[in-house]
Structure 1
Amino acid sequence: MKKRTLRADILLILTATIWGFAFVAQRVGMDYVGPFTFNAVRFALGSLSLIPLLLFNHRQEIKYRKILPGRNRKMSLSAGCFAGLALYLGASLQQVGLIYTTAGKAGFITGLYVVIVPIMGLFWRQRPELGTWAGALLAAVGLYLLSVTGKFTISYGDLLVLAGAFFWASHVHLVGWFSARVGSIKLAFLQFAVCSFLSFITAFAVESISLQSILRGLLPILYGGFMSVGIAYTLQVVAQQEANPAHASIILSLESVFAAVGGWILLSETLPVRGLIGCGLMLSGMLLSQFNITADSLRTFMKAFPTRTTST
């Protein structure tokens, strides 16, 4: 394994760990503030935490005369707006959904973006392998067992988180495409700022914002702002400069496992046997979706087991 690839994998695993436990912080934080206020403040903190790195990079650009031309500045702004919009939509649906579902379930349902990422590649004429379709089928069965009741209904919170998974998948594609063309720190800062700005607008429109409430929920907000946003999302952007979106998404899917562990340890969340089986199938589907299984590889595998012939 190449040194850069190994570094990217380590950064992505660390990102998944931080994100997984962030589901607990997000759920606890809403005991004090509304979902849009929580996102607005935490993404603002995340963007502010990057200002020292942003200034350092700017000084380095001046020192080595690598200031971006006007055209590239426009690309940076475009990248920040598109990635920030996808981030806002995914984070908003997830945060509102957490009001009505558990941290563990939200983590596993959000993890479905791992299956969605390669399927979305169809729009860019990327052909998903057989493993992707098999993984999607397993994940769908797992989602049914985890979230769909005997009356064939899905809870409102689970549905919102599921919708958010599509925007997380879009975000992975956007970051993968832009991170190679725009500085990683600059992209992270811009997308956090855009997401925070949109969340503040929504919060002022539909929620009551009070400084006292924010201060009471400061601990989970700080974790969500500095750890989940400032550190983890930045690690994702840096890592995806060396890892393709599908490879990155499979490692990041481990956040669902850490979310379930965090919900169990810190919030005493439990799942019935049906839900545990569903989580197992979903995680298996996420892993299987990343295996490079083709028709040729299946034929080669079958040739390794010669069929017996019977004589009469």
Structure 2
Amino acid sequence: MPLKNSLLLLLTATIWGISFVAQSEGGDAVGAFTFNATRNLIGSLVLVPVILLLGRLNPSGKAVSSSSASEGNIFSRNRTLILGGVSCGICLCLASNFQQVGISYTSVGKAGFITACYIVIVPILGLFMKKKCSPFIWMAIVLALIGLYLLCITDGFSIGKGDILVLICAFLFSLHILVIDYFSPHVDGVKMSCIQFLVCGILTAIPALIFEHPQLSAFKGAWGSILYAGVMSCGVAYTLQIIGQKNMNPTVASLILSLESCISVLAGWILLGQKLSVKEIIGCIIMFCAIVLAQLPQKNPKEA
């Protein structure tokens, strides 16, 4: 199960890494809030037929004995699902919009590094939720930060307006990961993901309508980017994140998801012909070493 979950999260990071270009181009074309609102609403719509299909293929998947299938239990389960979806949607809305606005005031490399700092924030916040980390994982976090710095920071480091916005985004993505960790073992991941996108899309549509006044003509050159971000990055990747994080250490999950930065650089090299410097190659190698190191404690559990 841990290996399967790790592979799902790696696939999630891959989709996010490749979709960075779509996110950048789409946001420039229609505006940050309009882009995020549209992609999340599309992500929610994409999951509706998936939920219906899964329900038809496994109609008795949630069935339990009549003695335990009381209305109270069903109500409690649905309440947990809705609460989880709304909570995840609020966190995702705040995090993604802070990131999208922050990117316009800072460099892409710095934004990528600061966002990925959630790999440090998650275990620190997790301590308050009694989520302890082994020494191997803390070592992996340090290695990952070194790798991310080598990978993303090319022109020195200073703090500006955009950097502060993206740092807030990193804290919010940390909360998003921990909220998923709390709710995912108790609910259907696909349904919670669908609710998450619906909530995020509706909340983001409010500032989009107030500040950006979206018009249909602006979408003409951006539909490709929006559809990829909506279907793949939202509908597929965030759902895989919820499923992959189930019963998994949230710190290890955050480390795997932080590979998004590595994959975005590799995607630029493979798909766009952007060459990697020696510094960036070393950063990628260190990042992958950190992920491998973070997996080691799971194979040799200390707690019985």
The answer (yes or no) to whether the contact 1:109–1:165 under 8 Å persists in 2 is yes
In structure 1, what is the equivalent of residue 45 of structure 2?
Answer: 48
Matches within 5 A, 1:234-273: 234-263=239-268
Q: 1:119 Cα deviation (Å)?
A: 0.9
Measure how far apart 1:227 and its partner are.
Answer: 0.6
Percent identity of paired positions between Structure 1 and Structure 2: 41
1:8 counterpart residue number: 5
Kindly report which structure 2 residues correspond to 1:194-205, keeping only aligned pairs within 5 A, or say none: 194-205=199-210
1:233-274 Cα deviation digits (max 9, x unpaired): 11111112242212222211111101223455667878999x
Q: Alignment partner of 1:153: what SS? A: coil
Q: Structure 1-normalised TM-score?
A: 0.78
Structure 1 unmatched ranges of 5 or more: 294-312
Structure 2 match to 1:28: 25
Q: Distance in 1 between matches of 2:25 and 2:93?
A: 20
Q: CA deviation at 1:8?
A: 1.6
What corresponds to 1:219 in structure 2?
224
Residue-by-residue CA offset, 1:171-195 (whole Å, 9 max, x unaligned)? 1111111111111111100111111
- Tell me which of 38, 44, 56 is aligned to 2:35: 38
State how far apart, in whole Å, the 2-side matches of 1:172 and 1:120 are.
11
2:122 to 117, 125, 137: 117
Which structure has the bigger radius of gyration?
Answer: 1
Q: Offset of 1:11 from its aligned partner?
A: 1.2
Please report how far the alpha carbon of residue 55 of structure 1 lies from its aligned counterpart in structure 2 after TM superposition.
2.0
**Compared CA separation, residues 289 and 126, structure 1 to 2 (3 A):** farther
Paired AA for residue 154 in structure 1? I
SS of residue paired to 2:29: coil
- In the aligned structure 2, how far is the partner of 1:106 from the partner of 1:268? 22
Query: What is the rounded CA distance, in whole Å, between the counterparts of 1:234 and 1:58 in structure 2?
Result: 16
3-state DSSP of counterpart to 2:159: coil
Q: How does 1:129-278 map to 2 (within 5 A)?
A: 129-130=134-135, 153-263=158-268, 276=280
Q: Where in structure 2 are there 5+ consecutive unaligned residues?
A: 64-68, 298-304
Further displaced range: 208-217 or 54-63: 54-63
Counterparts of 1:157 and 1:281 in 2: how far apart (Å)?
Answer: 28
Q: What is the 5 A alignment of 1:279-290?
A: 283=287, 287=291, 290=294
Q: Are the equivalent residues in 1 in contact too, given 2:144–2:255 (CA < 8 A)?
A: no
Q: CA deviation at 1:197?
A: 0.7
Question: How far apart, in 2, do the equivalents of 1:184 and 1:191 lie?
Answer: 10
SS at match of 1:230: helix
Range moving further from structure 2, 230-239 or 207-216: 207-216
Q: Partner of 2:112 in structure 1?
A: 107
Q: CA deviation at 1:156?
A: 2.7
| 1:108–1:65 distance in 2 versus 1, CA, 3 Å | closer
How many aligned residue pairs are there? 288
Question: Aligned in 2, Cα 1:134/1:202: closer, same or farther, shift over 3 Å?
Answer: same
Pick closer, same or farther for the CA change 1:264–1:60 going to 2, 3 Å.
closer
The one-letter amino acid of 1:183's match is: D
Aligned pair in 2 of structure 1 residues 107, 143: CA closer, same or farther (>3 Å)? closer
